[in-house]
């Protein structure tokens, strides 16, 4: 079930194991993909503790340039 935020937009929702993608705004820089390893917000909402490809962990408050890839999408590829 999708949750709708105050502005009528779908709120970000994730569970542990989903992937967070953040688009780069710098020419020539690649997008970042991180595994969500802990949910710190209520009901699957941000912030998320993530593990990046290089093994570094970070607490992320995703903005409009980010989206969550759910498990079923990754398993089918």
- Residues 16-27 have pLDDT tens digits of 999 999 998 888
pLDDT tens readout for residues 15-62: 999 999 999 888 888 889 999 999 999 999 999 999 999 999 999 999
Long-range contacts from 68-73, C-beta under 8 angstroms, 24+ separation: 68/12, 68/13, 68/14, 68/18, 68/19, 68/20, 68/21, 68/36, 69/18, 69/19, 69/20, 69/21, 70/14, 70/18, 71/15, 71/17, 71/18
Q: Which residue ranges make up each domain of the chain?
A: 19-75
Assign 1 a pLDDT band (cuts: 50, 70, 90): very low
Please state, in angstroms and rounded to a whole number, the distance separating the CA atoms of residues 33 and 52: 7
């Amino acid at each position: 079930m999708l949750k709708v935020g105050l502005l009528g937009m779908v709120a970000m929702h994730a569970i542990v194991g989903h992937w967070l993608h953040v688009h780069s705004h710098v020419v020539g820089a690649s997008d970042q993909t991180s595994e969500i390893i802990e949910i710190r917000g209520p009901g699957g909402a941000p912030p998320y503790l993530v593990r990046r490809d290089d093994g570094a962990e970070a607490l992320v408050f995703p903005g409009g340039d980010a989206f969550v890839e759910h498990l079923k999408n990754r398993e089918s590829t």
